[in-house]
């Protein structure tokens, strides 16, 4: 079974703090995506990374794809209450043309004002 191990599962921090969420696997992914989901809504795509070592920035969010394309991280700088939500990583294996994604377990982030 191809798994994505996501950590931590829960994170509660104060506004202004920094945080990092990790997504790790023993398998190589052709691409990896990060989603954020708020209660009552579907996951919203934040970013897709496809190249080993790739770094993408989205305002205060920095996404990195590992050199070997087996892991990824999401770093949030100066977190705000609006960042609260469930963060999901999801990967696609290059050997598959089904379009199916493998999801991590998710990280629930709470940013307190």
Partner 1 sequence: SAVISQKPSRDICQRGTSLTIQCQVDSQVTMMFWYRQQPGQSLTLIATANQGSEATYESGFVIDKFPISRPNLTFSTLTVSNMSPEDSSIYLCSVGARLAINTQYFGPGTRLTVL
* 3-state DSSP of 66-78: CCCCCEEEEEECC
Q: Is 74 in the site for partner 1 (CB under 8 A)?
A: no
89 CA to centre of own chain: 4
Is 33 a binding residue for partner 1 by CB under 8 A? The answer is yes
- Nearer Cβ to partner 1, position 66 or 85? 85
Choice from 24, 48, 64, 84 touching partner 1 (CB under 8 A): 48
Q: Is 111 in the site for partner 1 (CB under 8 A)?
A: no
Going from the C-alpha of 22 to that of each of 12, 25, 111, the distances in angstroms are 16, 10, 18
Q: Which residues bind partner 1 (CB under 8 A)?
A: 6, 30-31, 33, 35, 39-45, 48, 86, 88, 90, 92, 97-101, 103-106, 108
């Amino acid at each position: 079974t191809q798994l994505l191990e996501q950590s931590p599962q829960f994170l509660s921090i104060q506004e202004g703090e920094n945080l990092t969420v990790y997504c790790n696997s023993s398998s190589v992914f052709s691409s990896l995506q990060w989603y954020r989901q708020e209660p009552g809504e579907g996951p919203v795509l934040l970013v897709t990374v496809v190249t080993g070592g790739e770094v993408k920035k989205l305002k205060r969010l920095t996404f990195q794809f590992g050199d070997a394309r087996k892991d990824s991280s999401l770093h949030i700088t100066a977190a705000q209450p609006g960042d609260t939500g469930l963060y999901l990583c999801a990967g696609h294996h290059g050997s598959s043309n089904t379009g199916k994604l493998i999801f991590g377990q998710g990280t629930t982030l709470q940013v307190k004002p």
